[in-house]
Amino acid sequence: MKPKVRINFSDFWHPDTLEAKRSNPIYQLLSERFELEICERPDFLIYSCFGLNFLDHKCVRIFYTGENKRPNYSLCDWAFGYDHSDDPRYFRWPYYALYNIAPLLEPRDVEAVLRKKTRFCAFVYSNERARERLRFLDKLSRYKPVDCGGKVRNNLGYRVADKVAFLQAYKFNIAFENECYPGYTSEKLLESFHGNTVPIYWGNPLVNKDFNSAAFINSHDYRNLNQLVEYVVEVDRSEDLYRRYASAPAFVGGRPNEYIDKARVLDRFERIFTTSLLQPVAQTPRGRLAGLVRELKRYRQQSRQRSVT
């Protein structure tokens, strides 16, 4: 019999509905080991960074982020995210670990993959504020046209609906994060690997701890973007060099890294669910003070929204 856990979710990317919460990939994973009851007065709240509704809950708070954010331990008891941290309250669980990696572990017909490569490089993004990504796009485009299928710099006349399918025709994909920070590896590399394209990566200087460095071009190996462009040109012009990248598995030795291990994540949650805290941080003077500060921020946000409407 699975142990029962009273739980709720708050401030995620999805609507605050029961159906959406049950579709949350964290809920789906936890359901494999625990009998979950979503309720208004839970024992554990898992919340993210897209709002401040978590302040309404005074139970044990578990912070999860798929963004480049740090936990505030005056507001949460436990945290999951990207950082390589020694804090006993923190557990590294990158957002890409929520994706299906099974296809990346299967043998590939490299020759069939290469035959589909009829286009040079893809760029599919909707965030216009990532300056390093745009700088690289401009520099690489001076060598050959880059096909931009997203909202940003779109030159196709349509928006790409299925990014992974779109990437199948491209030798390269610009896989630049929104920001550069140690540990911050989002889904961008994983999407490239699913699309059977060679990613040109920028973002996490420690990315080799996540993926096989032989399978992608790492901008952090070069002094500047000009050198990076020169190397991409070299790979593009060398059939043998490109084949070497295209043939390499996404993970070292073809084995998933430890951060994708579901059992490891579930063990961590089991430890959290069975750990008796003297007092959840939300009920401590420090937590109440931090909560009041965030409540003030929430009130100001709501006031501004009302004034706009």
Residue 200: give its domain's CATH number: 3.40.50.11660
At a CB cut-off of 8 Å and minimum separation 6, what does 179 contact? 68, 130, 203
pLDDT tens, per residue, the chain with 309 residues: 899 999 999 999 999 999 999 999 999 999 999 999 999 999 999 999 999 899 999 999 999 999 999 999 999 999 999 999 999 999 999 999 999 999 999 999 999 999 999 999 999 999 999 999 999 999 999 999 999 999 999 999 999 999 999 999 999 999 999 999 999 999 999 999 999 999 999 999 999 999 999 999 999 999 999 999 999 999 999 999 999 999 999 999 999 999 999 999 999 999 999 998 878 998 988 777 777 777 777 667 666 665 554
Cα 90–chain centre separation: 17
> Is residue 26 located within the same domain as residue 113?
no
> Is residue 156 located within the same domain as residue 240?
yes
> Is residue 126 located within the same domain as residue 201?
yes
Q: Which of 215, 234, 255 corresponds to the end of one domain? A: 255
> Is residue 267 located within the same domain as residue 251?
no
Domain at 72, CATH number: 3.40.50.11650
pTM (whole model) above 0.85: yes
Token pair 């923190």 in the structure block, residue:
90
> Is residue 177 located within the same domain as residue 34?
no
> Is residue 171 located within the same domain as residue 149?
yes
Q: Which of 236, 255, 274 corresponds to the end of one domain? A: 255
> Is residue 62 located within the same domain as residue 142?
no
In this prediction, residue 309 carries a pLDDT of 44
Give the domain extent around 122: 102-255
> Is residue 274 located within the same domain as residue 137?
no
Crossing angle of the two packed helices 239-247 and 225-237, in degrees rounded to 10: 100
b/e map of 265-291 (b: 16 or more CB within 10 Å)? beeebeebbeeeeeebbbeeeebeebb
> Is residue 116 located within the same domain as residue 194?
yes
Total of domains in the chain: 2
91 touches 270 (CB < 8 A): no
> Is residue 160 located within the same domain as residue 278?
no
> Is residue 106 located within the same domain as residue 251?
yes
> Is residue 107 located within the same domain as residue 241?
yes
Report residue 273 as tokens. 């669910």
